């Protein structure tokens, strides 16, 4: 029975993401913004399905939460509900911007995944080359960029983002 469960977790992304989601929910992967700030300025250009562009220039003065994800990625799926909860808390505050950059080859898969799970997150896609300072290919990768367009958090791997502590850390960047 144990080996059957192990095989299920290995071959089934849904089972694997469910287990990881449970670990996120108990606080095992809570995210944290460190006090030290990177001196790296960022340069990026993303576009939504509706054609809305997001660049470092038009987002200067805002706190930006960027998450690179794919619908087939179990750790991405596991952290998505925590990102969605954080987004729901901050979506009406224009000082914060959320960019969920999808890495699926087929963009319709991302849309279907979000709709199926009732996530309301704003999805963007890369427009051109993204600097290694921002994304090296590891999914998920999450960044927080402050009002001066400096990276204050870069986290590769699963994270829990809907905690009161993380929310306060984000608000402290204003």
Tally of domains in the chain: 1
Q: How far apart are CA 171 and CA 91, in angstroms?
A: 13
Average confidence (pLDDT) per 10 residues, the chain, 174 residues? 64 68 64 66 88 93 97 94 97 97 95 95 92 92 93 92 94 94
pLDDT at 33: 77
- pLDDT recorded at residue 97: 97
Grouping H, G, I as helix, E, B as strand and the rest as coil, residue 145 is strand
Residue 81 has what pLDDT?
94
Question: For residue 66, what are the contacts with CB-CB under 8 A and spacing of at least 6?
Answer: 44, 99, 100, 101, 134, 142, 143, 144, 145
Residue 124: the pLDDT is: 97
Q: How many CB atoms lie within 10 A of CB 169?
A: 18
CATH number at residue 155: 3.40.30.10
Predicted pLDDT of residue 14? 73
Containing structural domain, residue 132: 2-171
pLDDT confidence of residue 93:
97
């Amino acid at each position: 029975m144990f080996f059957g469960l192990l095989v299920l977790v290995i071959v089934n992304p849904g089972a694997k993401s469910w287990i990881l989601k449970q670990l996120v929910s108990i606080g095992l992967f809570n995210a944290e913004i460190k006090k030290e700030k990177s001196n790296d300025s960022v340069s990026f250009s993303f576009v939504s399905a509706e054609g809305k562009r997001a660049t470092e220039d038009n987002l200067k003065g805002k706190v930006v939460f960027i998450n690179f994800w794919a619908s087939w990625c179990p750790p991405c799926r596991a952290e998505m509900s925590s990102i969605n909860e954080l987004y729901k808390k901050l979506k009406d505050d224009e000082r914060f911007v959320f960019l969920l950059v999808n890495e699926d080859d087929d963009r319709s898969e991302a849309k279907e995944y979000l709709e199926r799970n009732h996530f309301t997150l704003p999805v963007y896609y890369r427009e051109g080359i993204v600097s290694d300072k921002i994304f090296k290919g590891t999914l998920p990768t999450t960044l927080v960029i402050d009002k001066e367009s400096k990276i204050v958090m870069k986290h590769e791997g699963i994270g829990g983002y809907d905690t009161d502590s993380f929310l306060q850390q984000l608000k402290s960047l204003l």
